[in-house]
Amino acid sequence: MANDKTRKYSSVVVDGISRAPSRAMLRAVGFNDADFKKPQVGIASTWSMITPCNMHINKLAEEAAQSVNEAGGKSVIFNTITVSDGISMGTQGMRYSLVSREVIADSIETVSSAQGFDGVVAFGGCDKNMPGCMIAFARLNRPSIFVYGGTIKPGAEHRDIVSVFEAVGGVAAGNVSEAELKIVEETSIPGPGSCGGMYTANTMASAIEAMGMSLPNSSAQEAVSEDKKSDCFRAGTAVMNLIEKDIKPRDIMTRKAFENAITMIIALGGSTNAVLHMLAIAHSAHVELELDDFTRIGAKVPMLADLKPSGRYLMSELIAIGGIMPLMKTLLDAGLLHGDCMTVTGKTMAENLAEVKPYPAGQDIIRPLDNPIKKDSHLVIMYGNIATGGSVAKITGKEGLSFTGNARVFDSEEAALAAVLDDTVVKDDVIVIRYEGPVGGPGMREMLSPTSAIMGKGLGKEVALITDGRFSGGSHGFVVGHITPEAMIGGAIAIIEDGDSITIDAETRSVNLNIPQQEIDSRLAKWKKPAPKATRGILSKYARLAVSASEGAVTDKY
């Protein structure tokens, strides 16, 4: 298949007398004369021993590389970083999590452009790998496929990582002993794979498949399985087909494709982080997407999946009944998915789903359309005098639809967590965690530690939490994140005082400080911007470049 069309980028690097030095370097890493005439495919591996989500990915990357080579291409495996949200959660290290999304995107773009790859296959396991890979694909706009590393198997007694976080709160409440906590700690993570509920990793994997950028069923396979191994091998063949047909990411990542992804996120009860990441990917793909699109789509798409954190089941149990493809077929038949969107198979979404069979009778993981868990989206975009630029709540209905309480204000996640654990936080409090936004953090930390402690202490229906930071996909309860404008740039969240009345209302989609606007204006006039938390290095760069959460918190918009 090698020709000028399929070697659009690599030929510039290796063809002709003047490129002899380049060929000499490549011979040392395994190229021979024949390889210089083949399309080159970069295999972006996010392998590391940092986290179980990614510890197995190099073996998966090798499967794709072998497949590329057998299909007539020349594969080149390269690496990029990952950081573990679960490990860094609740520490200053978590400030680097969202920043890593940008580093991953930058590094894949950098290597692929510098080396002249004709196509790319990228592997992701942990939360920020996936949007990082997708952002890079959109920037590069070269034939590309994403491969999900797969979900983890359940721990003992149906445990997962959130079980550990919530057990910490249980110890503080006196409901869990330290010995019991140790057992939970030792048995919740049995091996490789991404966190097992419909948290951010599984949410993003499902969204990417619904967008058409991974092969059918790639999102619904366990990390250690023959199905996942086969998925990786098929990806190598598929990317060669994309190169031959010159099908590029922006041919697939259209406005309709983003709508399909959002529909799937809602139907599955996915993570609030998906809002942030979809906005960021759309920016790179030159697709107009905004917060209000989630409201528009959410008005007609029901939440159907009874999956953790708010539900009962884990991703492995959804896999056992067929994964997300039967759900996609149901949504397509109901007119809720665009079937004419191109995918990485070279076929349309409707063609991919044509032969998909329904879920087995008697299963109760995915509800029918006429008996949803919630008739519209659980992702509620809220505005109000605290969030004039928008915010994102995750309201399944189990938390109630409105909450009014008294503000208990903290200028960091650590201070809020300590107050939850030492009983400072009590019923009817609205916990306010600020100066944790993209600029103020810097890095917009996730608040899984305090939200899990709240649940572990039995306060899930007794208190609410708002923040200019964000939440882990494992967070649940009456929580509102992504408050924009954030405190560090003078948003109203910066001037909330202990004891102020706050109302969160999912029906009116509002989050408001119940004091006169004149008082808000007076406090804002007196507010003084605090000193930045980082003045050098990557956090400082991120703080200077990042736009608001309502714009995806990207670093290349201006």
**Residue 131 φ/ψ, nearest 5 degrees:** -65, -30
Question: Cα(272)–Cα(225) distance, rounded to whole angstroms?
Answer: 29
**501 classed as catalytic:** no
Within 13 Å of residue 472, how many CA atoms lie on the same side as its CB?
Answer: 28
Distances (CA, A) of 520 to 45, 266, 389, 496: 49, 35, 16, 9
Question: Cα(158)–Cα(160) distance, rounded to whole angstroms?
Answer: 7
Pull the structure tokens for residue 117: 């790859």
Q: Letter for the amino acid at 276?
A: L
Cβ burial, residue 402 (10 Å; 0-12/13-18/19+): middle
Task: Label each residue of 367-431 as H, E or C.
Answer: CCCCCCCECCCCEEEEECCCCCCEEEEECCCCCCCEEEEEEEEECCHHHHHHHHHCCCCCCCEEE
Assess contact for 450 and 416: CB atoms under 8 A: yes
Query: Edge to edge, what strands does the sheet with 144-148 contain?
Result: 74-79, 40-45, 119-124, 144-148
Q: Letter for the amino acid at 196?
A: G
DSSP character string of 174-199: TSS-HHHHHHHHHHS--SSSB-SSSS
**Residue 157, phi-psi category: left (phi > 0), alpha (psi -120 to 50), beta (remainder):** left
Active-site entry in 218, 472, 510, 550? 472
Question: Cα(412)–Cα(407) distance, rounded to whole angstroms?
Answer: 15
**Catalytic annotation, residues:** 472
